[in-house]
Structure 1
Amino acid sequence: MENADVAFAEGKITAVVPAGSRQFPNHRVVDASGKHVYPGFIATNTTLGLQEIGAVRASNDNRELGEFNSNIRSLIAYNTDSEITPTVRSMGVLMAEVVPQGGRISGSSSVVQLDAWNWEDAAYKTDFAIHLNWPASSSYNWRQQRMERNERYAEQLREVESFFDQAQAYSQTPSHERVNLKFEAMGGLFDGSKKLFVHANSVQAIQEAVLFAERYNLVPTIVGGRDAWMITDFLNEHKVPVILDSTHRTPAREDEAVDQPFREPALLHEAGVLFCQSHEGFWQYRNLAFQAGQAVAYGLPYEAAVKSLTLDAAKILGIDDSCGSIEVGKDATLFISEGDALDMRTNKLTHAFIQGREINLDNKQEMLYRRFQKKYRQR
């Protein structure tokens, strides 16, 4: 919407109207003439706040020992004092889905807002999805420089099936002599209060995961989705959304076009698949907006690119009733950029608000930049 006024109070958007058509007494006015206003970007499938320095083990709290850790909660490990968060926030990412890693079932993810004193303050939607890492039938052996079959593939599938069968049976039993925390955490899948997010990339893995989930009356969300563009009809038939992993990568196969990863968002959009864009890791999410901008250059409509970071991401996470777009009644989580926020040349935030609170856009890297600018200045 061009030439508009956006008003908010007590953390909620109260008006989105043509510029100058209404007066807003007792409101602070922020002049954004010639600038762009966006809903806050949402980082999905990230370890932001769970990792600080990759090479320092003590600063990494993103995984637990063992294979089936459905009872693990990423939220309580979330570090609101991370030095990484302000660097990501200054690029327009104002909310994040914090996801545990490792094992066959990693645990549950939660959505946090990125302006908080502690994890309780940060919590936006808690423990809403269980993350299952689907077994790979083959993998690349970097030492041997070749693809190798996973000899334990069938066994790993049986382990997943057995765990789900036991968890479902546990959830259907009214009382238990002994509480099983792993099965207790799985109960939300079977009563509809939790989502199932399956990490899968190949065509085989995606199809197997979807059909497996349907046996338990679950509609999964595919995370990763490297080959999702190949089976869009299948995804639409089963109404499966996709959290697309980083497209800043090389093609998966030798005979694919060199720009294939860059075109994947456009292919999913053209096919009508509900998807959002993610990146990998934690600090890497400072490039999330630019990844979406690159997708625009390879055929994704601009509005669809913005939605893949905002409203469509919110729909997949189940929070679109309160965020993801600039609409009356939703949270005032938005930012103002001097130019196109998807272009690294013009993404420059002047103001950002999370639930109506204006946040500080400074970060450690900017402070170091200002400090060392003066290093060789003559006194």
Structure 2
Amino acid sequence: MLRKIVTGAAVAAIVMGAAAHAETLAIVNAHILTAEPVGEVENGTIVVKDGVISAAGQGVAVPSGARVVDAKGQIVTAGLVAVNTGLGLTEVSSVSGTRDDRQHSEGISAAFDVQYGLNPNTTLIPVARLGGVTSAIVVPQYDDTDKARQLPFAGQAAAISLKYGGRLLLKPKIGLVLEFGEDGASRAGGSRAAEFIQLRALFDDARYYTSHKAAYERGEGRNLGLSRLDLEALAPVLDGSMPLIVIAHRASDISEVLRLGRDSGLKLILSGAEEAWMVASEIAAAKVPVLLNPTDNIPSSFDMLGATLLNAKRLSDAGVEIAIEGNDTGPRVRDLRYNAGVAVSRGLPYAKGVEAITLAPARIFGLDKQVGSIAPGKRGDIVVWTGDPLEPLSVATQVFVEGAEQPLTSRAEELRDRYLAPAR
């Protein structure tokens, strides 16, 4: 148990003990709760060798010399995969100097790449890890301090691992972020229609650039609406190798985005999508996944008049793959499991609720061969819980990333314990 403060030599010992994935780990008497092929196993064993799961399920033998962790019948899941986060990019939301998740350079839009601003020493990563989060999708945000700006794209997202002392970056360039709706329209002259027209024109420019690079370098050809860096960044989006993560809320906007995706051959991921349930059949037919917060049921704008707690259930029932997010991009990232619990309480099948915070986000972003479930060949990202992980009173007692046990402490807890101590 690592609920107490882990400082100095203790943390170093944890990290050194797991160096080079030398330790073989066996978690026994585990109530395994994960997706198929292992599925739910009431009394199983998980073996991790060199940071990778080698076996999981019933009747699994414990290798000689392995470190044995007795789960004592507690629920054990794969590490949670958080979407729509700013982990590693933000510290204090109200202090602009601590935010590397946004920018306002006129020459950089689609080319903005968050992988270069990641900070492994942020105080927010340990907070997320306390909630069982072991990997996350880090997305750029728009800087709207100056509404006169007209940068269409927020930039490129990345996947990170929350392993203590390890390299954050898990996979770069996993999606390009674009916003529609009221805020998106404000960057394109104030109209949704203008934004869709502008976007189609920019896509045409990017295709023209790709097929006329030599002429462009000579200063020949037509004028293009984006910088060279942005035009190059759009190439993988237009050939379908990088998904376009589209923030859209209103049902009509979602339908128009799906039409744009069909016309342009785009691989889409919807984000926000509070009214997605109203066009669930269209989304399912297009095989487009959705990132959402199932607790969004009170409209904060006219874009969200149809927001409902039943959004997650209705989308899932229609065959749409969903991933559930936390309640902000920083300190409340770990709320994703509470939100999954809310969705389950409103009819989402329990197994889908767990999948929406583990395997589904991994699958959506092409990480499912590495993380998202307990299965042979995947990273040893594993969490032991005191109870149902979707219940707020349950806590993570042990968190492993690549088979290495992680310190379960944070600056917030250290400060709490310091000031709870009796004055001397």
Q: Same fold (TM over 0.5)?
A: yes
TM-fit CA distance, 1:63: 0.8
Deviation readout 1:138-159 (Å, 9 max, x if unpaired):
999xxxxxxxxx8433333222
Structure 1 match to 2:36: none
Unmatched 5+ stretches in structure 2 = 1-40, 143-150, 218-226
Q: 1:85 aligns with which of 116, 125, 145?
A: 125
Correspondence for 1:181: 229
Shift of the 309–134 alpha-carbon distance from structure 1 to 2, 3 Å rule, reads same
Distance in 2, matches of 1:246 and 1:52, equals 25
Q: Select 2:345's aligned residue among 297, 301, 314.
A: 297
* Structure-2 change in CA distance of 1:233 and 1:350 (3 Å): same
Q: 287, 298, 306: which one pairs with 1:239? A: 287
TM-fit CA distance, 1:182 = 0.8
Secondary structure, counterpart of 2:158 in structure 1: strand
CA distance in 2, matches of 1:109, 1:6: 32
Q: Which runs of 5+ in 1 are unaligned?
A: 141-149
Equivalence for 1:146: none
State the secondary structure of the residue aligned to 1:29.
Answer: strand
* Alpha-carbon shift at residue 2 of structure 1 (Å): 1.2
Please name the residue that 1:288 is paired with: 336
Q: Following the alignment from structure 1 to structure 2, what is the Cα–Cα distance between the partners of residues 207 and 139?
A: 16
1:344 aligned partner: 392
1:130 aligned residue: 176
Q: 1:302-321 residue pairs with structure 2 within 5 A? A: 302-321=350-369
Of 141, 150, 167 in structure 2, the residue corresponding to residue 101 of structure 1 is 141
Q: Is the 8 A contact 2:240 2:267 kept in 1?
A: no
The answer for the alignment partner of 2:310 in structure 1 is 263
CA contact (8 A) 1:34 1:338 kept: no
Deviation at 1:106, TM superposition (A): 0.7
Question: For residue 247 of structure 1, what is the amino acid of its counterpart?
Answer: T
Q: Tell me if 1:365 matches 2:386.
A: no
Deviation string, structure 1 residues 121-148 (Cα, Å, up to 9, x no partner): 21111112111112439999xxxxxxxx
2:358–2:372 contact (8 Å) kept in structure 1? yes
Alignment of 1:13-28 (within 5 A): 13-19=53-59, 21-28=60-67
Matches within 5 A, 1:190-205: 190-205=238-253
Report the Cα distance in structure 1 between the residues aligned to 2:337 and 2:366, rounded to whole angstroms.
Answer: 21
Question: CA RMSD, aligned part only?
Answer: 2.5
* Aligned counterpart in structure 2 of residue 207 of structure 1, from 255, 258, 277: 255
Aligned-partner Cα distance in 1 for 2:208–2:258:
21
Task: Name the counterpart of 2:42.
Answer: 2
**Paired-residue identity, %:** 29
1:260-296 superposed Cα distances (whole Å, 9 cap, x missing partner): 6332211111111111111332212121111111111
C-alpha distance in 1 between matches for 2:194 and 2:100:
29
Cα distance, 1:51–1:357 mapped onto 2, change above 3 Å? same
Q: 2:109 maps to which residue? A: 69
Matches of 2:367 and 2:349, distance apart in 1: 23
Runs of 4 or more, structure 1, over 6 Å off, are 137-140
- Are the equivalent residues in 2 in contact too, given 1:136–1:205 (CA < 8 A)? no
Aligned length: 362
State the AA in 2 paired with 1:86.
Answer: P
CA distance in 2, matches of 1:91, 1:374: 25
Letter in 1 for 2:171: K
Deviating more after overlay: 158-167 vs 105-114: 158-167
Tell me which amino acid in the other structure corresponds to 1:361.
L
TM-score, scaled to structure 2: 0.80
More displaced 10-residue stretch of structure 1: 245-254 or 292-301: 245-254
Which position in structure 2 is the counterpart of 1:224? 272
1:33 is aligned, of 67, 72, 90, to 72
Question: Which letter maps to 1:264?
Answer: N
Give the conservation status (yes or no) of the 8 Å contact 2:294–2:343.
no
